[in-house]
Structure 1
Amino acid sequence: MSLIYHIVSATDWAKQESRPSYEAASLLTEGFIHLSIKEQVAGTLSRYYQHVPNLLLLHVDTDKLTSELRYELATNRESFPHLYGPLNKEAVVQIETLNGQSQL
């Protein structure tokens, strides 16, 4: 099992609770869902979520994904996983509540 991670507000996750898949806003605006590998989570939290309360960290099993996963270079020349379609919830193997810092 290979894991990647997605950061989402508890509110956004709850809005889609009854659906079989999750669609981040970026899927509509950019065409994909942003994810991170384990080593990128802390940096992503620091850069984009520093003052955002009530965050969740979704642990995603790449073997269970039904949408296309691509690793692509971001503006900082670092390769990030991007999911080109909805995130099927069967691939989410753990949901971690973030209280300021990830436990990874």
Structure 2
Amino acid sequence: MNRIFHIATVADWDEAQRRGLYSTSTRGRTLAEEGFIHASRADQWQAVHERYYADVTEPLVLLVIDTDRLDVPVVEEAAPGSDETFPHVYGALDPAAVVEAVPL
């Protein structure tokens, strides 16, 4: 099993489970706007949380995604202005691919 991670609001995750589809790319951006869903590897998600979500007051969860359960591509791509790559999910996420939702 290959795992990648995505930080989500509890509200967005709850909605995704009701709809059967998760389509939030990142904080304040949809999959349609961004073109992919931002994700992180195990060694990256904490820094992403600190950098982009530190001031968020609503409840957050860390979605643990099993890439073997995805039916859309995951591509490692460099972040703008950086040599560091991140996994990008090119399509809506089936909630069945999420093996755990850890409260943050």
CA distance in 2, matches of 1:15, 1:90: 14
Which residue is 2:42 aligned to?
A: 38
Q: Which residue of 1 aligns with 2:21?
A: 21
Please report how far the alpha carbon of residue 86 of structure 1 lies from its aligned counterpart in structure 2 after TM superposition: 0.3
1:87 counterpart SS class:
coil
Q: How many residues align?
A: 98
1:72 equivalent among 72, 77, 83: 77
Name 1:6's counterpart in structure 2.
6
- Post-superposition CA distance 1:22-43 (Å, at most 9, x none): 1114311110000000000111
Cα deviation, residue 12, structure 1: 1.6
Between the aligned partners of 2:98 and 2:15, the Cα distance in structure 1 is 16
**Retained in 1: the 8 A contact 2:5–2:63?**
yes
Alignment gaps of 5+ in structure 2: none
1:61–1:91: 8 Å Cα contact kept in structure 2? Answer: yes
**Cα shift at 1:15:** 2.4
Which runs of 5 or more residues in structure 1 are unaligned?
99-104
User: In the aligned structure 2, how far is the partner of 1:41 from the partner of 1:81?
Assistant: 11
Contact 2:17 2:95 in 1 (8 A): no
